[in-house]
Amino acid sequence: MHFNSLGTPQILLGTGCVMQEFLSHYARASAAQDSAVFAKSGCPQMSWFYLHIRCNGELIEDDEGAKFADVGAARTEAVRSIRSLVCGDVTAGFLHLDLSIEIRDDQNRRLQEVAFEDAVSIRGDRSTPD
């Protein structure tokens, strides 16, 4: 495990892709606590979703998963995670445009894929001739 200048844990892949642990232990504990609150309140249970990272042709599987109210909430977390990962990449001096997060359910069914373009807007025109 490596840490950036802010003390955030990062995973360094052989491909050079810097990945922050986008689902912290705090978020997992919070999701478990939220699930207990929902159960006591009579609200519907939250579902398990897995957010697998795809970068440079490699798939980094989320073995632990997290509970979300629905696929929309999982997508919101995937967008937030991509932005966090991009931030780590830029801080390290590079940017992977092929970064995406695949959302799967507890039956390992692929529900959605959130691509870099879905999470980050690039502004400015660099294609103009000098």
The pLDDT of 50-74, averaged and rounded, is: 95
Q: What's the token pair of residue 40?
A: 């006591």
pLDDT at 11 over 50: no
Mean residue pLDDT of the chain comes to 76
The pLDDT of 31-37, averaged and rounded, is: 53
Choice between 84 and 16, residue whose per-residue pLDDT is larger:
84
Judged by average pLDDT, the poorest of 5-14, 62-71, 105-114 is 5-14
- The reported pTM is 0.65
Question: 122 falls in which pLDDT band (50, 70, 90)?
Answer: confident
**Domain residue extents for the chain:** 2-119
**18-20 β-sheet, strand order:** 2-3, 9-12, 18-20
pLDDT at 72 over 90: yes
Instruction: Give me the pLDDT at residue 39, please.
Output: 54
Question: 117 falls in which pLDDT band (50, 70, 90)?
Answer: very high
pLDDT at 64 over 90: yes
Tell how many helices (H) and how many strands (E) occur in the chain: 3, 8
Q: What's the token pair of residue 122?
A: 């690039």
Residues with Cβ < 8 Å from 9, sequence gap 6 or more? 1, 2, 3, 20, 21
Which of 61, 76, 66, 65 lies closest to 19, judged by CA?
61
